[in-house]
Each structure stands twice: as C-alpha cells, then as structure tokens.
Amino acid sequence: MDYTSQSQRDRKEMFKAIGISGINELFSVIPEDLRAKELNIAGGKTEQELLNYFSDIALKNKILTSFRGAGIYDHFIPSLVCEVVGRSEFWSAYTPYQAEASQGTLQAIFEYQSLICALTGLATSNASLYDGATATAEAALLALRVSRKSKILISSALHPEYIQVVKTYLENFKAELVFLDVSDGAVKKEILEANLDADTAAVIIQSPNYFGVIEDMQTLSVVTKRKDSLFVAVVNPLSLGVFKAPGEYDADIAVGEGQVLGSSMCAGGATFGFMTVKKALEWKMPGRIVGQTVDKRGNRGFVLTLQSREQHIRREKATSNICTNASLNALAGCVFLAGWGSYGFKKLAEINISKARYAFSKIKSLEGFKPKFGEDKVFFNEFVIETIKDVKKINKVLLENNILGPLDLSETEKTFKNCLLFCVTEQRSKFEIDRLVEILSKI
C-alpha cells in the first residue's frame, strides 16, 4: 500500500501538461549507468497486514515491572498528556516558521519555556534539545564559548552515557575534561577545590547523580564561582518539586532529561532535553527560542526569536547546528507541568522519595544487602545497594517473576563491584515493593 492519490487519468493529464509521454522522461537527466536495479525490499502490506505484522514483532518484547532507572524512568502519564500530544494538529505540523499559522505550537512552547524557568529558577529557556545527554554536551560547549577557557570539570557520577556524549561532542574542540572522584557517592567540596583553577570554564554536576544521590549543589556552586567558572547543574526536573532549584544556588546553566515529564520510556527515546540559563547567557544559547510579540492590531502572539544565533542565518558561526529538536515531547512536558499545580507537583516528588525510602529501608535490612554509601546521603528515586549475593542470579530470578531488577553497576563502573542501582518511582505499589523484597530475601 502506498499513500499516493492520483488516478491513471490524473497521471495522463499531468503527463500531457508537462509534455511528456511517460514518467521515465522526468528522470532522463540521471545517467543510465547510475540507475538503481529493482530494490530488494519486502513490503506492500495493507493496513491490516501491517498491524498484524507489528503485533507479532511487539510480542517479542516483554513489559516488566520496573525497578530500574539509570536515566529513563517509569512514571505516571496523565490521560490529558496523551490526548494533547495525540492531536494531529500538533504532531503533523513542522517547525513553526510561519508564525501566524503556528500559534498553537508557538504558544505551547512559550508556556513550556515559562514552566521550565519556574521549575529551575533560571531566567531563560530554549524550546528543547534532543535529550538530557545532548543538552549536557551543549552546556559544555556554551561554557567553552562564553568563557574562552579550556578546562571542564565533570562529576564522575554524571550519567555514563552523558559522559560519552559530552566526549563525542567535544572531540574536536581543544578542551580538557577532568573527572571528579565520587567514590563515596557524591562530589566532595575538597575534590572540587583541588581540581578547580583559573582555566576552568565550567563545572558540571548532576543531582540527583547517577547513583541517585542529591549533591550539595549550593556548596559546590559557591566553590566554582571562586574561579569565575560557570556552574552547570544537570537536574531531574521532578526532583525540583522538593529539592533546591538551580536558580537558588546560582547555577549559570541548568540542563536535564525531560522524559520524566510525560514521555513514555519507549526503549529510551524519543524524549526531550531542556536548558535554562541566566539572562546574560541567553544570546549564547543553542536551539530555537519562542518569544512574545504583537500583531498589527496589537494582539499578543508568539514567534521564533533571537534567530540570529541559529544555523539557518549564521551558518558555520551559529551557536549550534541544531534545527529539529524534540518539540512534541516538550509539549508533553508542558501539559504535564501545567496539570499538577504547585502542591500536587511537590506531593508527586514526595511520593517518589517516600516509596524509594520505603524500598531502601526494607532491602538494606535483608541479610546480605547493605547500603553502598553513608546513611546521611539523601536520594530521590534511586539508591545503591551492595550485596554478597550473586548479582546475575538476582536479576535472573527477578526476570522470571516479570520484574526488571536493579541495574548491575559492576557492568559499567569497575569500582562498583556487586553494587545494584535500584529505582522506585510513584508507579510502584507497596505490594510490588514488598514482593520484590520477598524474592530478594529468598535468593
């Protein structure tokens, strides 16, 4: 099945109007010896066949009760979010170049920017980036651009995939990356002080970090400012319902992964990345930005603005090469943030903490399981447990019970042998947590 609509008669009339006798004449400019042989691609399925074919493929995937996070989280998505992003007026539109015919997307993104600014406590948000990892990389590039310095300090507890993406993005820039030790679960002030110098463009700290631990961002930011370096906060937006906002600890740039705000896990994407900055940095930001203006009659309206930063105008001198971003997922984020109210959003964060705490206290009291880090560490969704049990066996048994168990940290972090990264969100019921604990207790 294809989706063209011309009848044979239409085609003949079109040939006649063009002055050709057949379709091949339109391709005569392409040298014969370059022409493709018939492609070997199976297909031609009807809609019904297509649905059956993909139902069969989908069945080869397994939906599990998730106790795994590590960057992608199983959170509740209100029906309103699904309804709005399911509207074809939103999903089948292009980037809003013709503002007057794109006020829906533009106003929604303006509202998104407003909500993300409120959440992070910073002045200016862009219209979204691809994901949390690329947003972090763009923040590093922004810092290099603004500071004209060359060193970037990065917490070793930044998500390992974010670290990989930052490295890829910075590969051909003359930048030195220094990784800060986190062997006790968080970045120590002394470690930062020892590595910070006059050539440090930025310090990038994630909180909650990869191990779920809330960093003392206030203290780290104060230290960072002593050398006039930029403080980049990589934050989980849901956690900002209760934890300090980047604006409160004088962060210059806040970035993060927006999946937790209304995007399904979907094997890791599509999601969106967000970036907010201090006012002074707004002209240096990458990506689209929506601004408010007026029409000829003085009515409020919205347009893409500060465009002289961007690739379609500045070409090789643009602040970034980004064009397409993750608008529809940012729209989901907007609808998600618009519906909780301040009280509800805080409560949502508190439920996450409470459930994770509940699971933590149950698991750590099991024989053979203990917390990896000191009890003073505060966490949001995730926590690290060290075990004397066979890690592989734990996850195998959990999988047999349709549970996606904790992430085995020894696979990615050599210093975390026998360590498990558990994740508990508001989606997990007391029953599910108790069942997890019971299965663990029998291993």
Partner 1 sequence: MEKLLNELSSDCKAAYDLESDIEIKAQIPENLKRNLSLDLPSIAESDLLRHFTSLSRKNYAVSTTFYPLGSCTMKYNPLVNERIAKFDNFNKLHPCQDEETIQGVLEVMYKLEKDLCEISGMDCFSLQQAAGAQGEFAGLLIIAKYFKSIKQKRTKIIVPDSAHGTNPASAAFAGFDIVSLKSESDGSISPAKLKEVLTPEIAAIMLTVPNTLGTFERNIPEISKIIHENGSLLYYDGANLNAVMGVVRPGDMGFDVMHINLHKTFSTPHGGGGPGAGPVGVKAFLEPFLPFPRVESKGPKFVLNYEKPESIGKLKSFFGNFPVMLKAYAYIKSLGAKGLKNVSEQAVLNANYMLARFKDKINIPAGNRCMHEFVLSPKALFKNGVRTLDVAKRLLDCGYYAPTVYFPLIVEESIMIEPTETESKETLDAFVDTLVKIIREETSLEPQKLKDAPVNTPVGRLNEVEAARKPILKWE
User: What is the distance between the alpha carbons of residues 340 and 428, in angstroms, rounded to a whole number?
Assistant: 19
What CA–CA distances, in Å, run from 340 to 89, 111, 214, 346, 399? 24, 15, 23, 9, 34
By CB under 8 A, which span of 3-11, 150-158, 229-237, 381-389 interacts with partner 1? 3-11
For the chain, the C-alpha Rg in angstroms (whole number) is 25
User: What is the distance between the alpha carbons of residues 325 and 316, in angstroms, rounded to a whole number?
Assistant: 19
Q: Is the dihedral of CA 108, 110, 114, 116 positive or negative?
A: positive
Rule CB under 8 A: is residue 280 a binding residue for partner 1? no
- Per CB under 8 A, the list member of 21, 150, 173, 193 interacting with partner 1 is 173
Rule CB under 8 A: is residue 124 a binding residue for partner 1? yes
Rule CB under 8 A: is residue 148 a binding residue for partner 1? no
Q: What is the DSSP letter of 401?
A: T
Rule CB under 8 A: is residue 142 a binding residue for partner 1? no
In the complex, minimum distance from the CB of residue 294 to partner 1, in angstroms, rounded to a whole number: 6
Rule CB under 8 A: is residue 8 a binding residue for partner 1? no
Rule CB under 8 A: is residue 98 a binding residue for partner 1? yes
Residues 398-437, mask of contacts with partner 1 (x by CB under 8 A): -x----x--x------------------x--xxx-x----
In the complex with partner 1, the residue whose CB is nearer, 25 or 197, is 25
- Per CB under 8 A, the list member of 142, 221, 275, 288 interacting with partner 1 is 288
In the complex, minimum distance from the CB of residue 368 to partner 1, in angstroms, rounded to a whole number: 23
- Per CB under 8 A, the list member of 155, 227, 281, 312 interacting with partner 1 is 312
In the complex with partner 1, the residue whose CB is nearer, 111 or 181, is 111
User: What is the distance between the alpha carbons of residues 148 and 150, in angstroms, rounded to a whole number?
Assistant: 7
Relative to beta strand 273-277, strand 253-257 is antiparallel
Residues 23-82 that bind partner 1 (CB under 8 A): 23, 26-27, 29-31, 34-36, 38-45, 47, 50-51, 53-55, 57-64, 66, 68, 70-72, 74, 76, 78, 80
In the complex, minimum distance from the CB of residue 228 to partner 1, in angstroms, rounded to a whole number: 24
- Per CB under 8 A, the list member of 8, 92, 148, 375 interacting with partner 1 is 92
Q: What is the DSSP letter of 40?
A: -
**Kind and range of the H or E element at 420?**
strand 419-423
Closest CA to 230 of 217, 221, 239: 221
In the complex, minimum distance from the CB of residue 378 to partner 1, in angstroms, rounded to a whole number: 6
Rule CB under 8 A: is residue 268 a binding residue for partner 1? yes
**Kind and range of the H or E element at 330?**
helix 327-364
- Per CB under 8 A, the list member of 140, 165, 187, 253 interacting with partner 1 is 165
User: What is the distance between the alpha carbons of residues 360 and 433, in angstroms, rounded to a whole number?
Assistant: 10
- Per CB under 8 A, the list member of 148, 296, 414, 442 interacting with partner 1 is 296
Rule CB under 8 A: is residue 99 a binding residue for partner 1? yes
- Per CB under 8 A, the list member of 145, 146, 167, 397 interacting with partner 1 is 167
Rule CB under 8 A: is residue 218 a binding residue for partner 1? yes
Partner residues linked to 387 by β-bridges: 369
Closest CA to 218 of 182, 256, 186, 244: 244
The two tokens of residue 72 are 């992608």
User: What is the distance between the alpha carbons of residues 158 and 278, in angstroms, rounded to a whole number?
Assistant: 22
Relative to beta strand 200-207, strand 419-423 is unpaired
Dihedral of the alpha carbons of 280, 283, 284, 289, in degrees to the nearest 10: 120
User: What is the distance between the alpha carbons of residues 69 and 428, in angstroms, rounded to a whole number?
Assistant: 12
In the complex with partner 1, the residue whose CB is nearer, 369 or 379, is 379
Mapped onto helix, strand or coil, the DSSP state of residue 155 is: strand
Rule CB under 8 A: is residue 93 a binding residue for partner 1? yes
Rule CB under 8 A: is residue 210 a binding residue for partner 1? no
Residues 341-360, mask of contacts with partner 1 (x by CB under 8 A): xxxxxxxxxxx-xxx-xx--
In the complex, minimum distance from the CB of residue 206 to partner 1, in angstroms, rounded to a whole number: 13
